[in-house]
DNA sequence: GAGATTTCAGGACATATGTCCTTTTCAAAT
DNA sequence: ATTTGAAAAGGACATATGTCCTGAAATCTC
Protein backbone atom coordinates (compact mmCIF):
# COMPACT_ATOMS: atom_id res chain seq x y z
CA UNK A 1 0.00 0.00 0.00
CA UNK A 2 1.22 3.44 -0.88
CA UNK A 3 0.00 6.50 0.89
CA UNK A 4 -0.10 9.66 -1.16
CA UNK A 5 0.31 13.17 0.10
CA UNK A 6 -1.38 14.49 -3.00
CA UNK A 7 -4.23 16.46 -1.51
CA UNK A 8 -5.11 17.86 -4.86
CA UNK A 9 -5.94 14.43 -6.20
CA UNK A 10 -7.89 13.60 -3.09
CA UNK A 11 -10.06 16.64 -3.52
CA UNK A 12 -10.71 15.71 -7.11
CA UNK A 13 -12.11 12.40 -5.98
CA UNK A 14 -14.30 14.02 -3.37
CA UNK A 15 -15.59 16.32 -6.03
CA UNK A 16 -16.13 13.51 -8.51
CA UNK A 17 -18.49 11.78 -6.11
CA UNK A 18 -19.98 14.99 -4.81
CA UNK A 19 -19.00 14.28 -1.24
CA UNK A 20 -16.92 17.37 -0.57
CA UNK A 21 -19.44 18.60 1.94
CA UNK A 22 -19.72 15.36 3.83
CA UNK A 23 -16.73 16.20 5.99
CA UNK A 24 -16.24 19.41 7.92
CA UNK A 25 -13.31 21.43 6.68
CA UNK A 26 -11.29 20.95 9.85
CA UNK A 27 -11.24 17.24 9.18
CA UNK A 28 -9.91 17.45 5.64
CA UNK A 29 -6.35 17.33 6.90
CA UNK A 30 -7.01 13.90 8.41
CA UNK A 31 -8.00 12.37 5.12
CA UNK A 32 -5.41 10.55 3.08
CA UNK A 33 -5.35 8.88 -0.28
CA UNK A 34 -4.08 5.30 -0.43
CA UNK A 35 -3.26 2.98 -3.29
CA UNK A 36 -3.39 -0.79 -3.00
CA UNK A 37 -2.15 -3.38 -5.43
CA UNK A 38 -4.24 -6.27 -6.57
CA UNK A 39 -4.25 -8.94 -3.88
CA UNK A 40 -3.48 -6.62 -0.98
CA UNK A 41 -5.75 -6.65 2.02
CA UNK A 42 -7.43 -3.56 3.38
CA UNK A 43 -8.43 -5.27 6.59
CA UNK A 44 -8.74 -8.71 8.09
CA UNK A 45 -11.63 -10.35 9.85
CA UNK A 46 -11.17 -10.04 13.61
CA UNK A 47 -8.66 -7.23 13.59
CA UNK A 48 -9.19 -4.08 15.53
CA UNK A 49 -11.01 -1.51 13.41
CA UNK A 50 -9.63 2.00 13.38
CA UNK A 51 -10.20 3.58 9.99
CA UNK A 52 -12.95 4.17 7.50
CA UNK A 53 -12.21 3.60 3.82
CA UNK A 54 -14.01 5.16 0.92
CA UNK A 55 -13.48 3.23 -2.26
CA UNK A 56 -13.04 5.73 -5.06
CA UNK A 57 -11.42 3.59 -7.74
CA UNK A 58 -11.05 -0.13 -8.42
CA UNK A 59 -12.77 -3.14 -6.95
CA UNK A 60 -12.58 -5.17 -3.76
CA UNK A 61 -14.01 -8.44 -2.62
CA UNK A 62 -15.44 -8.85 0.83
CA UNK A 63 -15.30 -12.33 2.23
CA UNK A 64 -15.45 -14.36 5.39
CA UNK A 65 -13.79 -17.58 6.35
CA UNK A 66 -15.64 -20.04 8.52
CA UNK A 67 -14.09 -22.04 11.31
CA UNK A 68 -14.20 -25.05 8.98
CA UNK A 69 -12.05 -23.15 6.53
CA UNK A 70 -14.66 -22.43 3.90
CA UNK A 71 -14.61 -19.10 2.16
CA UNK A 72 -17.75 -17.21 1.34
CA UNK A 73 -17.62 -14.06 -0.71
CA UNK A 74 -20.22 -11.66 0.56
CA UNK A 75 -19.87 -9.07 -2.13
CA UNK A 76 -17.73 -7.25 -4.62
CA UNK A 77 -17.64 -3.52 -4.16
CA UNK A 78 -16.86 -0.68 -6.51
CA UNK A 79 -17.08 3.11 -6.00
CA UNK A 80 -18.77 4.69 -4.26
CA UNK A 81 -18.64 2.39 -1.28
CA UNK A 82 -17.55 2.33 2.35
CA UNK A 83 -15.47 -0.19 4.23
CA UNK A 84 -15.45 -0.10 8.00
CA UNK A 85 -18.70 1.81 8.36
CA UNK A 86 -20.56 -0.83 10.33
CA UNK A 87 -17.59 -1.30 12.60
CA UNK A 88 -17.36 2.43 13.20
CA UNK A 89 -20.94 2.77 14.32
CA UNK A 90 -21.13 -0.47 16.27
CA UNK A 91 -17.65 -0.15 17.73
CA UNK A 92 -16.76 -3.72 16.93
CA UNK A 93 -13.84 -5.56 15.37
CA UNK A 94 -13.51 -6.01 11.64
CA UNK A 95 -16.28 -8.31 10.47
CA UNK A 96 -14.97 -9.44 7.08
CA UNK A 97 -11.74 -9.56 5.21
CA UNK A 98 -11.48 -7.09 2.34
CA UNK A 99 -9.06 -7.61 -0.52
CA UNK A 100 -8.29 -5.56 -3.61
CA UNK A 101 -9.07 -7.49 -6.77
CA UNK A 102 -7.80 -4.72 -9.00
CA UNK A 103 -5.50 -1.77 -8.44
CA UNK A 104 -7.36 0.21 -5.85
CA UNK A 105 -7.64 3.78 -4.67
CA UNK A 106 -9.28 4.65 -1.37
CA UNK A 107 -9.71 7.64 0.86
CA UNK A 108 -8.75 6.72 4.40
CA UNK A 109 -10.06 8.40 7.52
CA UNK A 110 -9.09 7.46 11.08
CA UNK A 111 -12.05 6.75 13.37
CA UNK A 112 -10.47 9.07 15.85
CA UNK A 113 -10.85 12.04 13.56
CA UNK A 114 -14.42 11.05 12.73
CA UNK A 115 -15.40 10.78 16.35
CA UNK A 116 -13.86 14.12 17.05
CA UNK A 117 -15.41 16.04 14.19
CA UNK A 118 -18.27 14.08 12.62
CA UNK A 119 -20.09 12.52 15.50
CA UNK A 120 -22.86 15.08 15.19
CA UNK A 121 -22.27 16.35 11.71
CA UNK A 122 -25.52 15.82 9.77
CA UNK A 123 -23.98 15.66 6.28
CA UNK A 124 -21.72 12.85 7.40
CA UNK A 125 -24.48 11.02 9.23
CA UNK A 126 -26.75 11.30 6.22
CA UNK A 127 -23.99 10.12 3.93
CA UNK A 128 -23.45 7.05 6.08
CA UNK A 129 -27.17 6.37 6.28
CA UNK A 130 -27.52 6.53 2.52
CA UNK A 131 -24.70 4.09 1.88
CA UNK A 132 -25.61 1.69 4.64
CA UNK A 133 -29.29 1.48 3.82
CA UNK A 134 -28.31 0.76 0.23
CA UNK A 135 -25.98 -1.97 1.41
CA UNK A 136 -28.66 -3.43 3.58
CA UNK A 137 -31.13 -3.47 0.77
CA UNK A 138 -28.73 -5.19 -1.57
CA UNK A 139 -27.79 -7.73 1.06
CA UNK A 140 -31.36 -8.48 1.89
CA UNK A 141 -32.09 -9.08 -1.76
CA UNK A 142 -29.03 -11.22 -2.09
CA UNK A 143 -30.11 -13.34 0.85
CA UNK A 144 -33.58 -13.94 -0.52
CA UNK A 145 -32.21 -14.72 -3.93
CA UNK A 146 -29.73 -17.24 -2.63
CA UNK A 147 -32.17 -18.95 -0.35
CA UNK A 148 -34.91 -19.16 -2.91
CA UNK A 149 -33.07 -20.23 -6.04
CA UNK A 150 -30.92 -23.09 -7.25
CA UNK A 151 -27.32 -22.81 -8.29
CA UNK A 152 -28.39 -22.83 -11.94
CA UNK A 153 -30.35 -19.66 -11.48
CA UNK A 154 -27.65 -18.05 -9.40
CA UNK A 155 -24.92 -18.85 -11.88
CA UNK A 156 -26.96 -17.57 -14.80
CA UNK A 157 -27.54 -14.38 -12.90
CA UNK A 158 -23.90 -14.12 -12.00
CA UNK A 159 -22.76 -14.57 -15.58
CA UNK A 160 -25.15 -11.92 -16.81
CA UNK A 161 -24.30 -9.31 -14.27
CA UNK A 162 -20.57 -9.81 -14.38
CA UNK A 163 -20.42 -9.43 -18.12
CA UNK A 164 -21.18 -5.77 -17.95
CA UNK A 165 -18.18 -5.23 -15.76
CA UNK A 166 -15.88 -2.37 -16.58
CA UNK A 167 -13.98 -4.07 -19.39
CA UNK A 168 -15.86 -5.66 -22.24
CA UNK A 169 -19.50 -5.61 -23.10
CA UNK A 170 -21.14 -8.62 -24.59
CA UNK A 171 -18.05 -10.66 -25.20
CA UNK A 172 -17.34 -11.21 -21.58
CA UNK A 173 -14.02 -12.35 -20.28
CA UNK A 174 -14.50 -14.19 -17.06
CA UNK A 175 -11.14 -15.68 -16.32
CA UNK A 176 -11.40 -19.36 -15.69
CA UNK A 177 -9.00 -19.61 -12.84
CA UNK A 178 -9.41 -17.41 -9.84
CA UNK A 179 -12.63 -15.76 -10.84
CA UNK A 180 -14.47 -19.01 -11.31
CA UNK A 181 -13.51 -20.00 -7.81
CA UNK A 182 -14.62 -16.60 -6.66
CA UNK A 183 -17.88 -17.09 -8.46
CA UNK A 184 -18.43 -20.36 -6.63
CA UNK A 185 -17.66 -18.73 -3.31
CA UNK A 186 -19.97 -15.85 -4.05
CA UNK A 187 -22.81 -18.06 -5.17
CA UNK A 188 -22.24 -20.21 -2.15
CA UNK A 189 -21.57 -23.49 -3.85
CA UNK A 190 -18.60 -25.74 -4.49
CA UNK A 191 -16.25 -25.24 -7.37
CA UNK A 192 -17.07 -28.72 -8.49
CA UNK A 193 -20.73 -28.05 -8.74
CA UNK A 194 -20.27 -24.75 -10.47
CA UNK A 195 -18.26 -26.57 -13.11
CA UNK A 196 -21.01 -29.07 -13.51
CA UNK A 197 -23.65 -26.42 -14.07
CA UNK A 198 -21.35 -24.55 -16.41
CA UNK A 199 -20.93 -27.69 -18.46
CA UNK A 200 -24.70 -27.98 -18.69
CA UNK A 201 -24.91 -24.39 -19.92
CA UNK A 202 -22.28 -25.18 -22.54
CA UNK A 203 -24.15 -28.25 -23.72
CA UNK A 204 -27.30 -26.17 -23.98
CA UNK A 205 -25.44 -23.66 -26.11
CA UNK A 206 -25.84 -20.84 -23.62
CA UNK A 207 -22.16 -20.13 -23.16
CA UNK A 208 -18.85 -21.12 -24.64
CA UNK A 209 -15.63 -21.75 -22.88
CA UNK A 210 -12.09 -21.50 -24.09
CA UNK A 211 -8.86 -21.76 -22.22
CA UNK A 212 -9.00 -18.23 -20.81
CA UNK A 213 -12.56 -17.10 -20.69
CA UNK A 214 -16.25 -17.76 -20.81
CA UNK A 215 -18.31 -16.18 -23.52
CA UNK A 216 -22.05 -15.75 -23.41
CA UNK A 217 -23.68 -17.00 -26.59
CA UNK A 218 -27.33 -16.89 -25.73
CA UNK A 219 -28.10 -13.81 -23.71
CA UNK A 220 -31.83 -14.33 -23.66
CA UNK A 221 -31.52 -17.96 -22.74
CA UNK A 222 -29.55 -17.09 -19.64
CA UNK A 223 -32.03 -14.40 -18.77
CA UNK A 224 -34.83 -16.91 -18.92
CA UNK A 225 -33.03 -19.03 -16.38
CA UNK A 226 -31.99 -16.16 -14.16
CA UNK A 227 -35.44 -14.65 -13.95
CA UNK A 228 -34.62 -11.30 -12.48
CA UNK A 229 -30.91 -10.84 -12.56
CA UNK A 230 -29.35 -10.22 -9.24
CA UNK A 231 -25.71 -9.85 -8.26
CA UNK A 232 -25.97 -6.75 -10.42
CA UNK A 233 -24.66 -4.28 -7.99
CA UNK B 1 -55.35 -1.93 14.29
CA UNK B 2 -56.30 0.46 17.04
CA UNK B 3 -54.76 3.87 17.33
CA UNK B 4 -54.44 5.24 20.81
CA UNK B 5 -54.51 8.85 21.84
CA UNK B 6 -52.79 7.99 25.08
CA UNK B 7 -49.75 10.19 24.92
CA UNK B 8 -48.84 9.32 28.44
CA UNK B 9 -48.35 5.70 27.52
CA UNK B 10 -46.39 6.66 24.45
CA UNK B 11 -43.98 8.70 26.49
CA UNK B 12 -43.52 5.80 28.86
CA UNK B 13 -42.36 3.65 25.99
CA UNK B 14 -39.98 6.28 24.73
CA UNK B 15 -38.57 6.50 28.19
CA UNK B 16 -38.34 2.75 28.58
CA UNK B 17 -36.08 2.51 25.55
CA UNK B 18 -34.27 5.73 26.29
CA UNK B 19 -35.22 7.32 23.00
CA UNK B 20 -37.02 10.39 24.30
CA UNK B 21 -34.33 12.62 22.88
CA UNK B 22 -34.28 11.06 19.46
CA UNK B 23 -37.12 13.24 18.27
CA UNK B 24 -37.28 17.00 18.58
CA UNK B 25 -40.05 18.19 20.83
CA UNK B 26 -42.01 19.80 18.02
CA UNK B 27 -42.41 16.40 16.43
CA UNK B 28 -43.78 14.64 19.48
CA UNK B 29 -47.31 15.58 18.48
CA UNK B 30 -46.93 13.62 15.27
CA UNK B 31 -46.16 10.36 17.03
CA UNK B 32 -48.97 7.95 17.72
CA UNK B 33 -49.26 4.66 19.49
CA UNK B 34 -50.83 1.78 17.59
CA UNK B 35 -51.94 -1.68 18.61
CA UNK B 36 -52.12 -4.59 16.20
CA UNK B 37 -53.66 -7.99 16.73
CA UNK B 38 -51.84 -11.18 15.91
CA UNK B 39 -52.01 -11.78 12.18
CA UNK B 40 -52.50 -8.15 11.17
CA UNK B 41 -50.17 -6.63 8.64
CA UNK B 42 -48.19 -3.49 9.27
CA UNK B 43 -47.26 -3.11 5.64
CA UNK B 44 -47.21 -5.05 2.41
CA UNK B 45 -44.41 -5.63 -0.08
CA UNK B 46 -44.74 -3.17 -2.94
CA UNK B 47 -46.99 -0.68 -1.21
CA UNK B 48 -46.14 2.95 -1.00
CA UNK B 49 -44.16 3.65 2.16
CA UNK B 50 -45.23 6.59 4.25
CA UNK B 51 -44.61 5.87 7.91
CA UNK B 52 -41.90 4.68 10.21
CA UNK B 53 -42.78 2.15 12.90
CA UNK B 54 -40.93 1.59 16.12
CA UNK B 55 -41.71 -1.77 17.61
CA UNK B 56 -42.00 -1.32 21.34
CA UNK B 57 -43.88 -4.47 22.34
CA UNK B 58 -44.59 -7.84 20.77
CA UNK B 59 -43.10 -9.58 17.78
CA UNK B 60 -43.39 -9.37 14.02
CA UNK B 61 -42.23 -11.50 11.15
CA UNK B 62 -40.75 -9.95 8.06
CA UNK B 63 -41.16 -11.96 4.91
CA UNK B 64 -41.11 -11.78 1.16
CA UNK B 65 -43.01 -13.69 -1.46
CA UNK B 66 -41.32 -14.58 -4.69
CA UNK B 67 -42.95 -14.44 -8.09
CA UNK B 68 -43.19 -18.24 -7.95
CA UNK B 69 -45.22 -17.93 -4.80
CA UNK B 70 -42.62 -19.10 -2.30
CA UNK B 71 -42.45 -17.42 1.04
CA UNK B 72 -39.18 -16.64 2.73
CA UNK B 73 -39.09 -15.27 6.23
CA UNK B 74 -36.25 -12.82 6.51
CA UNK B 75 -36.45 -12.24 10.22
CA UNK B 76 -38.47 -12.00 13.35
CA UNK B 77 -38.22 -8.73 15.15
CA UNK B 78 -38.80 -7.68 18.72
CA UNK B 79 -38.25 -4.35 20.50
CA UNK B 80 -36.38 -2.20 19.94
CA UNK B 81 -36.62 -2.32 16.18
CA UNK B 82 -37.62 -0.19 13.22
CA UNK B 83 -39.87 -0.97 10.29
CA UNK B 84 -39.78 1.29 7.26
CA UNK B 85 -36.37 2.77 7.98
CA UNK B 86 -34.68 1.61 4.79
CA UNK B 87 -37.62 2.79 2.75
CA UNK B 88 -37.52 6.18 4.43
CA UNK B 89 -33.88 6.79 3.61
CA UNK B 90 -33.92 5.29 0.14
CA UNK B 91 -37.33 6.69 -0.78
CA UNK B 92 -38.54 3.40 -2.16
CA UNK B 93 -41.65 1.25 -1.86
CA UNK B 94 -42.12 -1.23 0.93
CA UNK B 95 -39.61 -4.03 0.48
CA UNK B 96 -41.08 -6.78 2.62
CA UNK B 97 -44.37 -7.67 4.18
CA UNK B 98 -44.49 -7.31 7.95
CA UNK B 99 -47.03 -9.17 10.06
CA UNK B 100 -47.69 -9.22 13.78
CA UNK B 101 -47.16 -12.70 15.23
CA UNK B 102 -48.24 -11.62 18.68
CA UNK B 103 -50.26 -8.70 20.00
CA UNK B 104 -48.17 -5.77 18.99
CA UNK B 105 -47.54 -2.21 20.07
CA UNK B 106 -45.75 0.25 17.83
CA UNK B 107 -45.00 3.93 17.72
CA UNK B 108 -45.94 5.33 14.33
CA UNK B 109 -44.39 8.39 12.71
CA UNK B 110 -45.35 9.74 9.29
CA UNK B 111 -42.40 10.23 6.94
CA UNK B 112 -43.70 13.69 6.29
CA UNK B 113 -43.13 14.74 9.87
CA UNK B 114 -39.69 13.16 9.87
CA UNK B 115 -38.64 14.93 6.73
CA UNK B 116 -39.86 18.19 8.13
CA UNK B 117 -38.22 17.97 11.53
CA UNK B 118 -35.59 15.22 11.59
CA UNK B 119 -33.83 15.45 8.28
CA UNK B 120 -30.86 17.13 9.95
CA UNK B 121 -31.44 16.20 13.54
CA UNK B 122 -28.31 14.37 14.72
CA UNK B 123 -29.94 12.36 17.54
CA UNK B 124 -32.41 10.92 15.06
CA UNK B 125 -29.77 10.25 12.42
CA UNK B 126 -27.56 8.54 14.99
CA UNK B 127 -30.48 6.49 16.25
CA UNK B 128 -31.22 5.31 12.73
CA UNK B 129 -27.58 4.54 12.07
CA UNK B 130 -27.32 2.48 15.21
CA UNK B 131 -30.35 0.37 14.42
CA UNK B 132 -29.60 -0.07 10.76
CA UNK B 133 -25.97 -1.04 11.20
CA UNK B 134 -27.11 -3.60 13.73
CA UNK B 135 -29.65 -4.94 11.27
CA UNK B 136 -27.03 -5.10 8.57
CA UNK B 137 -24.66 -6.99 10.78
CA UNK B 138 -27.27 -9.53 11.76
CA UNK B 139 -28.35 -9.98 8.18
CA UNK B 140 -24.83 -10.43 6.97
CA UNK B 141 -24.26 -13.09 9.57
CA UNK B 142 -27.51 -14.74 8.69
CA UNK B 143 -26.55 -14.85 5.04
CA UNK B 144 -23.17 -16.43 5.70
CA UNK B 145 -24.70 -18.92 8.06
CA UNK B 146 -27.36 -20.00 5.62
CA UNK B 147 -25.02 -20.27 2.69
CA UNK B 148 -22.38 -22.17 4.57
CA UNK B 149 -24.40 -24.70 6.53
CA UNK B 150 -26.82 -27.51 5.92
CA UNK B 151 -30.42 -27.59 7.03
CA UNK B 152 -29.45 -29.84 9.95
CA UNK B 153 -27.21 -27.18 11.36
CA UNK B 154 -29.69 -24.43 10.70
CA UNK B 155 -32.54 -26.28 12.32
CA UNK B 156 -30.47 -27.14 15.38
CA UNK B 157 -29.55 -23.51 15.68
CA UNK B 158 -33.13 -22.44 15.21
CA UNK B 159 -34.40 -24.79 17.89
CA UNK B 160 -31.81 -23.59 20.35
CA UNK B 161 -32.37 -19.92 19.86
CA UNK B 162 -36.13 -20.05 19.75
CA UNK B 163 -36.35 -21.91 23.02
CA UNK B 164 -35.30 -18.88 24.95
CA UNK B 165 -38.21 -16.95 23.55
CA UNK B 166 -40.30 -14.92 25.92
CA UNK B 167 -42.39 -17.79 27.29
CA UNK B 168 -40.72 -20.90 28.65
CA UNK B 169 -37.14 -21.68 29.32
CA UNK B 170 -35.75 -25.12 28.76
CA UNK B 171 -38.99 -26.89 28.17
CA UNK B 172 -39.71 -25.12 24.97
CA UNK B 173 -43.07 -25.02 23.35
CA UNK B 174 -42.63 -24.66 19.66
CA UNK B 175 -46.09 -25.08 18.28
CA UNK B 176 -46.16 -27.70 15.61
CA UNK B 177 -48.53 -25.99 13.29
CA UNK B 178 -47.78 -22.55 12.04
CA UNK B 179 -44.45 -22.10 13.70
CA UNK B 180 -42.94 -25.17 12.12
CA UNK B 181 -43.90 -23.84 8.73
CA UNK B 182 -42.46 -20.51 9.73
CA UNK B 183 -39.30 -22.25 10.79
CA UNK B 184 -39.01 -23.88 7.39
CA UNK B 185 -39.53 -20.57 5.65
CA UNK B 186 -37.00 -18.87 7.86
CA UNK B 187 -34.40 -21.56 7.40
CA UNK B 188 -35.09 -21.47 3.71
CA UNK B 189 -36.10 -25.07 3.20
CA UNK B 190 -39.28 -26.99 2.52
CA UNK B 191 -41.64 -28.06 5.24
CA UNK B 192 -41.16 -31.60 4.07
CA UNK B 193 -37.47 -31.52 4.56
CA UNK B 194 -37.68 -29.83 7.90
CA UNK B 195 -39.89 -32.66 9.05
CA UNK B 196 -37.39 -35.16 7.82
CA UNK B 197 -34.55 -33.57 9.74
CA UNK B 198 -36.72 -33.22 12.81
CA UNK B 199 -37.45 -36.93 12.65
CA UNK B 200 -33.75 -37.62 12.55
CA UNK B 201 -33.24 -35.46 15.64
CA UNK B 202 -35.98 -37.40 17.39
CA UNK B 203 -34.42 -40.72 16.50
CA UNK B 204 -31.12 -39.48 17.82
CA UNK B 205 -32.81 -38.53 21.06
CA UNK B 206 -32.08 -34.83 20.68
CA UNK B 207 -35.66 -33.66 20.84
CA UNK B 208 -39.09 -35.05 21.58
CA UNK B 209 -42.29 -34.26 19.89
CA UNK B 210 -45.80 -34.45 21.20
CA UNK B 211 -49.02 -33.31 19.68
CA UNK B 212 -48.50 -29.64 20.49
CA UNK B 213 -44.88 -28.97 20.90
CA UNK B 214 -41.29 -29.89 20.50
CA UNK B 215 -39.16 -30.37 23.58
CA UNK B 216 -35.41 -30.26 23.61
CA UNK B 217 -33.97 -33.28 25.40
CA UNK B 218 -30.30 -32.99 24.64
CA UNK B 219 -29.19 -29.38 24.77
CA UNK B 220 -25.54 -30.11 24.30
CA UNK B 221 -26.15 -32.48 21.46
CA UNK B 222 -27.96 -29.80 19.51
CA UNK B 223 -25.24 -27.33 20.28
CA UNK B 224 -22.67 -29.68 18.87
CA UNK B 225 -24.59 -29.77 15.63
CA UNK B 226 -25.30 -26.07 15.54
CA UNK B 227 -21.74 -25.02 16.14
CA UNK B 228 -22.24 -21.39 16.91
CA UNK B 229 -25.89 -20.73 17.36
CA UNK B 230 -27.29 -18.16 15.06
CA UNK B 231 -30.86 -16.99 14.60
CA UNK B 232 -30.38 -15.75 18.14
CA UNK B 233 -31.44 -12.22 17.67
C1' DG C 1 12.19 -29.05 -25.15
C1' DA C 2 11.52 -32.84 -21.57
C1' DG C 3 10.49 -33.82 -17.16
C1' DA C 4 8.51 -32.13 -12.84
C1' DT C 5 4.96 -29.71 -10.55
C1' DT C 6 0.92 -27.34 -10.09
C1' DT C 7 -3.78 -26.33 -11.59
C1' DC C 8 -8.01 -27.54 -13.51
C1' DA C 9 -11.92 -30.30 -15.39
C1' DG C 10 -14.54 -34.01 -14.90
C1' DG C 11 -15.97 -39.11 -13.09
C1' DA C 12 -18.05 -41.78 -9.44
C1' DC C 13 -20.46 -42.01 -5.61
C1' DA C 14 -22.83 -40.45 -1.37
C1' DT C 15 -25.80 -37.25 0.67
C1' DA C 16 -29.02 -33.40 0.93
C1' DT C 17 -33.09 -31.51 -0.56
C1' DG C 18 -37.40 -30.82 -3.36
C1' DT C 19 -41.90 -32.46 -5.26
C1' DC C 20 -45.80 -35.03 -5.33
C1' DC C 21 -48.79 -37.91 -3.29
C1' DT C 22 -50.67 -41.06 0.33
C1' DT C 23 -51.52 -42.01 4.99
C1' DT C 24 -52.39 -40.50 9.45
C1' DT C 25 -53.97 -37.41 12.99
C1' DC C 26 -56.85 -34.20 14.93
C1' DA C 27 -60.85 -31.72 15.62
C1' DA C 28 -65.36 -29.91 14.31
C1' DA C 29 -70.06 -31.09 13.22
C1' DT C 30 -73.80 -34.06 13.68
C1' DA D 1 -69.60 -41.89 19.55
C1' DT D 2 -69.44 -41.55 14.32
C1' DT D 3 -68.63 -39.13 10.43
C1' DT D 4 -66.19 -36.05 7.81
C1' DG D 5 -62.97 -32.74 6.42
C1' DA D 6 -58.88 -30.21 7.15
C1' DA D 7 -54.17 -30.25 8.48
C1' DA D 8 -49.93 -32.58 9.49
C1' DA D 9 -46.62 -36.32 8.84
C1' DG D 10 -44.37 -39.48 6.18
C1' DG D 11 -43.26 -42.54 1.73
C1' DA D 12 -41.31 -42.73 -2.84
C1' DC D 13 -38.85 -40.92 -6.20
C1' DA D 14 -36.24 -37.40 -8.77
C1' DT D 15 -32.95 -33.91 -8.62
C1' DA D 16 -29.41 -30.92 -6.66
C1' DT D 17 -25.24 -30.63 -4.47
C1' DG D 18 -20.99 -32.09 -1.93
C1' DT D 19 -16.71 -34.92 -1.45
C1' DC D 20 -13.07 -37.39 -2.96
C1' DC D 21 -10.27 -38.73 -6.43
C1' DT D 22 -8.20 -39.30 -11.11
C1' DG D 23 -6.60 -37.95 -15.48
C1' DA D 24 -5.69 -33.99 -18.51
C1' DA D 25 -3.81 -29.54 -19.30
C1' DA D 26 -1.01 -25.76 -18.26
C1' DT D 27 3.10 -23.87 -16.23
C1' DC D 28 7.52 -24.00 -14.47
C1' DT D 29 12.34 -25.42 -14.07
C1' DC D 30 16.52 -26.77 -15.74
Q: What is the percent of chain B with per-residue pLDDT over 70, rounded to a whole number? A: 91
Buried b / exposed e along A153-181 (16+ C-beta atoms within 10 A): bbbbbbbbebbeeeeeeeebebebeebbe
Residues B44 and B156 in one domain: no
Of A8-22, A65-79, A94-108, B171-185, the least confident: B171-185
Average of per-residue pLDDT across A138-145: 94
CA atoms within 13 A on the CB side of B220: 0
What pLDDT is attached to residue A115? 97
Residues B84 and B156 in one domain: no
What pLDDT is attached to residue B218? 87
For chain A, how long is the longest CA-to-CA vector? 61
Q: Are strands A60-65 and B81-83 parallel, antiparallel or unpaired?
A: unpaired
Question: Does residue B47 lie within any of the structural domains?
Answer: yes
With a cut of 60, say whether residue A161 has pLDDT above it: yes
What pLDDT is attached to residue A233? 43
With a cut of 80, say whether residue B212 has pLDDT above it: no
Question: Does residue B51 lie within any of the structural domains?
Answer: yes
Residues A29 and A128 in one domain: yes
- Residue-wise pLDDT tens digits, B121-135: 999 999 999 999 999
Considering only CB atoms, which chain A residues are within 8 Å of B142? 143
Which carries the bigger pLDDT value, residue A98 or residue A168?
A98
**What is the count of structural domains for chain A?**
2
Which carries the bigger pLDDT value, residue A170 or residue B225?
B225
CA B140 from chain center: how many Å? 15
Q: Which residue is nearest to nucleotide C8 (CA to C1')?
A: A177
Residues A156 and A125 in one domain: no
Residues A191 and A106 in one domain: no
Q: For the domain that residue B170 is a member of, what is the CATH number?
A: 1.10.10.10
Distance, CA of A129 to C1' of D17, in Å:
39
Q: What is the percent of chain B with per-residue pLDDT over 90, rounded to a whole number? A: 73
Question: Does residue B135 lie within any of the structural domains?
Answer: yes
Asked if B230 contacts B155 with a C-beta cutoff of 8 angstroms, the reply is: no
Q: Which of residues 145-184 of B touch strand D (CB under 7 A)?
A: 176-178, 180-181
Question: Does residue B233 lie within any of the structural domains?
Answer: no
Distance, CA of B191 to C1' of C19, in Å:
11
Task: Tell me the nearest-neighbour CA distance from A10 into chain B, angstroms.
Answer: 26
What pLDDT is attached to residue A160? 87
Mean predicted lDDT score pLDDT of chain B: 90
**Which chain B residues in 2-61 lie under 8 Å from chain A, judged by CB atoms?**
none
Residues A54 and A92 in one domain: yes
Is residue A200 within 8 angstroms of chain B, CB to CB?
Answer: no
What pLDDT is attached to residue A169? 45
Considering only CB atoms, which chain B residues are within 8 Å of A118? none
Q: Which of A85, A120, A87, A123 is nearest to A106 (CA)?
A: A85
Chain C: bases < 7 Å from a protein Cβ: 7-12, 16-21, 25-27
With a cut of 90, say whether residue A219 has pLDDT above it: no
Question: Does residue A143 lie within any of the structural domains?
Answer: no
Asked if A143 contacts B63 with a C-beta cutoff of 8 angstroms, the reply is: no
Buried b / exposed e along A60-98 (16+ C-beta atoms within 10 A): bbbbbbeeeeebbbbbbbbbbbbbbbbbbbbeeebbbbb
What pLDDT is attached to residue A166? 42
Residues A169 and A58 in one domain: no
Distance, CA of B174 to C1' of C24, in Å:
21
Average of per-residue pLDDT across B31-42: 94
Asked if A4 contacts A34 with a C-beta cutoff of 8 angstroms, the reply is: yes
Residues A25 and A114 in one domain: yes
Distance, CA of B222 to C1' of C11, in Å:
36
Taking one residue from A and the other from B, the number of pairs with CB-CB distance under 8 angstroms is: 102
Range of the structural domain that residue B202 is part of: 149-226
Question: Does residue A232 lie within any of the structural domains?
Answer: no
Pairwise CB contact (< 8 Å): B136 & A137: no
Residues B133 and B73 in one domain: yes
With a cut of 90, say whether residue A177 has pLDDT above it: no
How confident is residue A174, by pLDDT bands cut at 50, 70 and 90?
low
With a cut of 60, say whether residue B168 has pLDDT above it: no
Question: Does residue A233 lie within any of the structural domains?
Answer: no
- Cα-based torsion angle of the residue sequence B63, B64, B69, B70 in order, rounded to the nearest 10 degrees: -60
Domain boundary (A136, A157, A176) is at A136
Amino acid sequence: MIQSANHQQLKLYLKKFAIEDVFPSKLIGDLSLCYYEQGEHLCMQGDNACELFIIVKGKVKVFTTSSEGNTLILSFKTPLELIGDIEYVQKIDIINTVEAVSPLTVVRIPYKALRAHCENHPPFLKFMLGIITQKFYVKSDFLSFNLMHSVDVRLASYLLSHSFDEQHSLVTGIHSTESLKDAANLIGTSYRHLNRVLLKFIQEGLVERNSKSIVIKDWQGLKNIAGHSLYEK
